[in-house]
Amino acid sequence: MTTKTFLITGVSSGLGRAFAVAALDAGHTATGSVIRSAPRPPRLSG
């Protein structure tokens, strides 16, 4: 098997995270980036 390296954006959640997990589970190398490293504050209502 040929090992591939992936650069994946948005790995903190959603599709980006799913792609990163799938790549790692398949034995590939993944480098990821995120916009926010801390949880988003709750939205204000009103």
pLDDT at 20: 92
pLDDT at 1: 74
pLDDT at 45: 63
Using one digit for the tens of pLDDT, what is the confidence trace for 3-37? Answer: 999 999 988 888 999 999 999 999 999 999 988 76
For residue 23, count other CB atoms closer than 10 A to its CB. Answer: 18
Whether 46 shows a pLDDT value over 60: the answer reads no
pLDDT at 34: 85
Task: Give residue limits of the domains in the chain.
Answer: 1-35
**CA atoms 39, 31, 8, 13: torsion sign:** negative
